[in-house]
Amino acid sequence: MTEMVKVALEEVRQLSVRTLSRVGYSERHAVAIAEMLFQCQRDDCQSHGLFRLLMCHQTMKAGKVDGHATPQIYPSDGAIVRVDARNAMSLLAVNETMPLLIEKARKFGMAAMTVNKCFHFSALWPEVERLSEKGLAGLSMVPSHSWVAPAGGKRGVLGTNPLAFSWPRAGKDPFTFDFATSGFARGEIELYLRAGKPLPEGVAVDAEGNPTTDPQAALDGAMLTFGGYKGSALSIMIELMAGPLIDDLTSTESMAFAEGQGGAPYHGQIILAFDPYHLSGGRVAENDARAERLFADILNQGARLPSQRRFEARARNTARGYVEVPRALLEELMKLGG
């Protein structure tokens, strides 16, 4: 049983800023990164909350990230706004460009932000939820490192390639999902290896492309996508949309760039925003009601909406003003001087 410690919500933010500043990020970067960690920790996303301070540190130690770069925004007359993160973490670039993305989506009906040359470690849902808070639908994709084989293959070419979507719901938590298109998380395979347990069927192949449940054979081979050839096709789409489409690295190129160092992968990100006002010809209220009937039909049969558990955690932790964090993690963070 992991021993948990209560940490006040405000301290989550401050601990993050202190640690990030100490390990080499400028104040602007530290504040932007800390906000993402805060949101994840507040929602009990342990994997993308304070835990990621270790990765931010590791990324800095690997020596390629710029902790002080100022993002360069390239606006256009059209529906696209491109931002160059200039080898920094993605979050400051996204924050600074988000108002322009929202403005363009409202003006043109839809718009895209492309983020280039960024190190990326974060969950995608906080960014698409910033769009749904403004009444827009948001969609975001990133590649990662090429651990995942295409359907019928045996070598990693694709990243874990997450897809996140958020839909605004008046007066309610949005409809949001954020999932990796890999069938399994890479870290999970390592946990199975350490525990000496076989993997579930269908999540990995060995170096010859044969299905395997042996964790070491899986690490020597490749992970698979969720959902067979359909999930594989979707993952390739994400690779294209968040790579070549926006002039940035594929997962294979990102892995080569890392040269075996740990830390966050380096690549691009695409965030799309859709304005229901334009797309529905101004009939937002009627269509909000229609979407609510859809959600009710899902909930009334005992199914859950994605992110429902996360929103419950958010409400609970916000009300009580603290989150629970593993003691071992806090002790590790203390060593970083946070």
Binding residues among 144-183 for a copy of itself as defined by CB under 8 A: 149-155, 157, 163, 165, 167, 175, 177, 179, 181
Active site residue 286: no
Nearest to 308 by CA among 209, 176, 193, 205: 176
* Whole-Å CA distances, 172 to 14, 138, 175, 292, 300: 28, 16, 9, 10, 17
Binding a copy of itself by CB under 8 A: which of 82, 120, 130, 310?
82
Our measurement of the distance from residue 100's CA atom to the centroid of its chain's CA atoms, rounded to an integer in Å, reads: 21
Number of residues that bind a copy of itself (CB under 8 A): 75
**Does 214 interact with a copy of itself (rule: CB under 8 A)?**
no
Nearest to 279 by CA among 270, 268, 292, 288: 288
**Does 114 interact with a copy of itself (rule: CB under 8 A)?**
yes
- Name the one residue in this structure whose structure tokens are 């009300």: 319
Distance CA 119, CA 63 (A): 12
Among positions 18-47, residues that touch a copy of itself (CB under 8 A) are: none
**Least CB distance from residue 287 to a copy of itself, whole Å?**
4
Q: Which stretch binds a copy of itself (CB under 8 A): 6-14, 92-100, 238-246, 326-334?
A: 238-246
Binding a copy of itself by CB under 8 A: which of 4, 96, 287, 322?
287
- Given the residues 10, 47, 68, 208, select the one marked as catalytic: 47
- Given the residues 188, 253, 324, 332, select the one marked as catalytic: 188
Active site residue 48: yes
Angle between helices 52-62 and 9-23 (to 10 degrees): 10
Among positions 121-140, residues that touch a copy of itself (CB under 8 A) are: 137
Nearer to a copy of itself, 41 or 116 (CB): 116
**Least CB distance from residue 24 to a copy of itself, whole Å?**
29
Q: Which stretch binds a copy of itself (CB under 8 A): 10-18, 50-58, 267-275, 321-329?
A: 267-275
**Least CB distance from residue 234 to a copy of itself, whole Å?**
8
Nearer to a copy of itself, 181 or 317 (CB): 181
Active site residue 140: no
The enclosing H or E element of 138 equals: strand 137-141
Nearest to 208 by CA among 197, 196, 222, 198: 222
Q: Sort strands 175-179 and 72-74 into parallel, antiparallel or unpaired.
A: unpaired
Binding a copy of itself by CB under 8 A: which of 75, 99, 228, 262?
228
Give φ, ψ of 182 to 5 degrees: -75, 155
Find the distance separating the first CA and the last CA of the chain, reported in whole Å: 25
What residues act catalytically? 47-48, 188
